[in-house]
Structure 1
Amino acid sequence: MTEESVGRPEDVGAPLDGGLDGTWSDEAEWSEFDGVEGAEDAADGGPQPVLAVVGRPNVGKSTLVNRLLGRREAVVQDQPGVTRDRVSYDALWNGRRFTVVDTGGWEPSAKGLQAAVAQQAEMAMSTADAVLLVVDAQVGATATEEAVARVLRRSKRPVLLAANKVDDERTHADAAALWSLGLGEPRPISGLHGRGSGDLLDAILDVFPDVPHEQFGVTGGPRRVALVGKPNVGKSSLLNRLTGEQRSVVHDVAGTTVDPVDSLVELDGEVWRFVDTAGLRKRVRTASGTEYYASLRTKAAIEAAEVAVVLIDASEPLTEQDLRVISMVIEAGRALVLLCNKWDLVDDDRRRRLDNELDREMVRARWAERVNVSAETGRSVAKLAPVLRTALESWDTRVPTGRLNSWLSDLVAASPPPVRGGKQPKILFATQAHPRPPTLVLFTTGFLEAGYRRFVERKFREEFGFTGSPVRISVRVRERKDGRKARR
């Protein structure tokens, strides 16, 4: 378990058993814990400017997005149409944070599913602070690009033109030919190799306004909620129900969503950032192709969220995939809400069986909030906001050190740790290192068995609540006077 900032010994209050005697290592030991919370808070700035990346299918938009981000986020495959929804990513360049929105291929005359994808691109442009049009320089300006350019020239947003796939000096002339689109200087770039990416990023920062167009007035930004679960449990349907629009592509075939799709949603008078993720069929290491990268993005979306809503199909028995997703959320240390979807398909007999399944299988997460809804009909969807608030309140809570040690002293006196190796370890004092998730650090004279840690966690929840949030227990074993740590 990763241990983080816990404050210095002199700051954490009176010890439980005689206090510190100088046998912990000094500043060097505590330095590894300093500044963690500050770094986390710094990541939550105010509203960020938004860049929409658009272009026709298969011109390398997602590859270029990954290059701008400096990491592999967008799913890339050597075939058109992999990206379907508009997908947002946080980017950082020269100390300035901004949001990059990757979109599906934009074809103004598209029909059917491609028309829905094009509509997502148009919506991304209408809400962005700047637009980056990506053109395949080796192919040149097609009729599609000319139609797109006419739309962009009428827009009120600044537009940058990226001539992609300019991998060497020989193809610079291909980029120059794109002046004909009337969108200003074509910027030669290689999304695959990174050629020209720094200059393009500088140009993007130059065209951003000082104040982003869309501000929601929430300090630190909206709370981040990840919708996760196995395929076809109704994640995209729920997001569409919450937004009141076709925010995600929905189809009966499982696996429609590939990239995480985020939306700002107002629930119960508060703005939330919901992220629809790809359904997890397999473990990441056993998946392949697009499914492998989609699984990685889903895992990253969970880690970037503050609370995860795990959807299960209430009309079917609980599966191994359901339990695996729940475990991923717990291991990521995120607040958890269990949402039983398709409740309109559940009869009384199935409800009783589901209750038994949850009691039997959810041993690790009996503290999770639970809501029964139907994304299809909208039944009980309004109950989601209150349980999200409860889970996040627990996730954010910090118990004062004095109160924590007073409670723990009584607990240890009534139920001391079990003897190990002929010696009984003592808990000298404790502190809650930080919230998000709540993490207790116990300073002891010896190792505490896993069973006793679970006992402390259970009693801690009984005393202080923490409904909807995981609780982590970490043990710091005191060094002996000869400089060695007590045996584990």
Structure 2
Amino acid sequence: MSSLPVVAIVGRPNVGKSTLFNALTRTRDALVADMPGVTRDRIYGRATVDGRPVILIDTGGLDQASDEVETGAQSQTRQAIAEADLVVFMTDARAGIVPVEHEIAAELREGGKRVIHVINKTDGLNTDMAVAEGAELGMGRSFPIAASHRHGLGQLDREIGELLPQAGASDEQEVDADIHLALIGRPNAGKSTLLNRLLGEQRALATPIPGTTRDPIHAVVERDGTTFHLVDTAGIRRRRGSHEGVERFSTIKALQAVEKARIVCLVCDSTEGITEQDARLAGHVIEAGRGLVLVLNKWDAIDSDKRRAVLSEVAERLDFARFAPVVTLSALHGSGLGELTDAVEHVNEVGMAELSTSALTRVLRRAVEAHPPPSIRRLSPKLRYAHGGGHFPYRVVIHGNRTEHVPDQYRRYLVNSFRKQFDLTGVPVRLVFRESDNPYAGRGNRLTPRQVQKRKRLKKFVRRKQRKR
């Protein structure tokens, strides 16, 4: 499988980089304010651009550094440029082109990266004038947008998709018998120790110091006839606690490893409990559509009261991932490894299962009969049949009429019905709704003259009956 492409948004401070980041990722992860220099660290997110998933990076502004903090932020921006497959260079139409932007443009040209010049804040302005002024940077075609109002993002979306590297052919079909497994988690959760235990050798450096692993470590191991392709990734901190550029670099590689894996083990430190960052990582795995196994490591280091508290935190903070199996183990001593491999193999088997159209349709019809979809404007969606549509995530394609009116709550009900019937443990389920074609559409009036007269007489008869009533 090919790596997930990386797109970096760069420019001087306060041109709207974070606003564009939030618009493309459809989140509010980047802090937006009407003042320069708000973004200090790099902020990363997952976005779908022109139908393709990408890692998007919001960077600090490139300008004349006035202190050590700004110098560090600009250093991080340049590292993001070096890592990116494509750079979105943003300028401000209202402020016009300023001298420092000529320097940024020259630096980008020297780097040899693919660059898209975006002119933001063009709402209410003459876009032709803004584009003409932007041409003096010599960056080729410019794209006028208004990120805060989402104007022009469709065209920008298509342009980014055209300039991204072509997606490599997936080799998943050739290695269906193998399991691609990624280990992710916060620093010092025990991922490298777990990798070494699975391999039976000291393949990864494991120390009590957080952040020992920098680059993903790949390894292959066979257990009971099953081949595992393992990837140990660097620990992913909360953004505000991350200070080193190398560490943020490693975060991108860890997210790419998740996209390339089939199943992900989220390794949590039982001694610290379940944190907000653990929940964020679980959400990213589910969003990517990968199988999920929750691993509570260092289980031997806590007493029974703490164990009950940790399991309660799992139920509370990871409620959205309740379909994922939970495995308790000690990577240091090797206890619980058998349960872990059994859970991973089960998730893989479930996720790769081929469910028949008849079986999926039966479950759909039973669910609809038990709780029909709610009516909207006296019209109720008609769900007719279902069939499989892909793996990891497992896709169920449902055909019917007025499917666009199926509310989110009812979709969750259908997902739970399929999950319960087929024991889809650890596997995200996505529903794809498609409108059924009308078999009579386009046929026109093909009645014979005799049939037409008969229909007219029947209508007259019905009208007379109604008048007598």
Which bracket does the TM-score occupy, shorter chain normalised? 0.5 to 0.7
- Provide closer, same or farther for how the CA distance between residues 404 and 372 of structure 1 changes in structure 2, counting only shifts above 3 A: same
- Provide closer, same or farther for how the CA distance between residues 283 and 393 of structure 1 changes in structure 2, counting only shifts above 3 A: farther
1:396–1:437 contact (8 Å) kept in structure 2: no
Q: Report the counterpart of residue 223 of structure 2 in structure 1.
A: 267
Q: Report the counterpart of residue 476 of structure 1 in structure 2.
A: 434
Counterpart Cα distance in 2 of 1:384 and 1:479:
46
- Provide closer, same or farther for how the CA distance between residues 235 and 363 of structure 1 changes in structure 2, counting only shifts above 3 A: same
1:229–1:280 contact (8 Å) kept in structure 2: yes
Larger radius of gyration: 2
CA positional deviation for 1:392: 0.3
Counterpart Cα distance in 2 of 1:283 and 1:427:
44
Counterpart Cα distance in 2 of 1:453 and 1:330:
16
The sequence identity of aligned pairs, in percent, is 36
Q: Report the counterpart of residue 313 of structure 2 in structure 1.
A: 357
What is the identity, as a one-letter code, of the residue corresponding to 1:296? I
1:395–1:469 contact (8 Å) kept in structure 2: yes
Counterpart Cα distance in 1 of 2:263 and 2:429:
14
What is the identity, as a one-letter code, of the residue corresponding to 2:246? T
Q: Report the counterpart of residue 236 of structure 2 in structure 1.
A: 280
Q: Report the counterpart of residue 326 of structure 1 in structure 2.
A: 282
1:228 maps onto 2:195 in alignment = no
1:398–1:438 contact (8 Å) kept in structure 2: no
What is the identity, as a one-letter code, of the residue corresponding to 2:423? G
User: Residue deviations 1:51-84, cap 9 Å, x none?
Assistant: xxxxxxxxxxxxxxxx9x9969xxxxxxxxxxxx
- Provide closer, same or farther for how the CA distance between residues 270 and 422 of structure 1 changes in structure 2, counting only shifts above 3 A: same
Counterpart selection for 1:290 from 246, 257, 260: 246
1:226–1:275 contact (8 Å) kept in structure 2: yes
CA positional deviation for 1:193: 6.8
Q: Report the counterpart of residue 429 of structure 1 in structure 2.
A: 385
1:466 maps onto 2:427 in alignment = no
Counterpart Cα distance in 1 of 2:359 and 2:346:
22
What is the identity, as a one-letter code, of the residue corresponding to 1:260? P
3-state SS of 1:272 partner: strand
Counterpart Cα distance in 1 of 2:227 and 2:330:
22
Counterpart Cα distance in 2 of 1:347 and 1:320:
23
What is the identity, as a one-letter code, of the residue corresponding to 1:256? T
CA positional deviation for 1:407: 2.2
CA positional deviation for 1:265: 1.6
1:251 maps onto 2:199 in alignment = no
CA positional deviation for 1:293: 1.9
Q: Report the counterpart of residue 373 of structure 2 in structure 1.
A: 417
Counterpart Cα distance in 1 of 2:292 and 2:298:
19
Higher normalized helix content (fraction of residues): 2
Counterpart Cα distance in 2 of 1:272 and 1:278:
19
1:335 maps onto 2:264 in alignment = no
Uncovered stretches (5+) of structure 2, i.e. residues with no partner: 1-51, 53-81, 87-110, 114-173, 443-469
CA positional deviation for 1:459: 1.1
Counterpart Cα distance in 2 of 1:462 and 1:379:
30
Counterpart Cα distance in 2 of 1:429 and 1:325:
34
Q: TM-score, normalised by structure 1?
A: 0.52
Q: TM-score, normalised by structure 2?
A: 0.54
CA positional deviation for 1:344: 1.1
User: Residue deviations 1:250-286, cap 9 Å, x none?
Assistant: 22221111111111122234321110001111359x9
Q: Report the counterpart of residue 125 of structure 2 in structure 1.
A: none
Counterpart Cα distance in 1 of 2:183 and 2:327:
14
Q: Report the counterpart of residue 455 of structure 1 in structure 2.
A: 413
2:299–2:307 contact (8 Å) kept in structure 1: no
1:304 maps onto 2:260 in alignment = yes
Out of 435-444 and 313-322, give the one that drifted further: 435-444
3-state SS of 1:371 partner: strand
CA positional deviation for 1:221: 6.8
The CA RMSD over aligned residues, in Å, is 3.1
Counterpart Cα distance in 2 of 1:270 and 1:313:
27
CA positional deviation for 1:331: 0.7
Out of 428-437 and 336-345, give the one that drifted further: 428-437
CA positional deviation for 1:225: 0.4
Query: Higher relative contact order by CA 8 Å / sep ≥ 6: 1 or 2?
Result: 1
Q: Report the counterpart of residue 339 of structure 2 in structure 1.
A: 383
Counterpart Cα distance in 2 of 1:293 and 1:267:
32
2:328–2:336 contact (8 Å) kept in structure 1: yes
Q: Report the counterpart of residue 359 of structure 2 in structure 1.
A: 403
Uncovered stretches (5+) of structure 1, i.e. residues with no partner: 1-35, 37-66, 73-191, 195-217, 484-488
- Provide closer, same or farther for how the CA distance between residues 348 and 407 of structure 1 changes in structure 2, counting only shifts above 3 A: same
Counterpart Cα distance in 2 of 1:287 and 1:305:
27
- Provide closer, same or farther for how the CA distance between residues 403 and 247 of structure 1 changes in structure 2, counting only shifts above 3 A: same
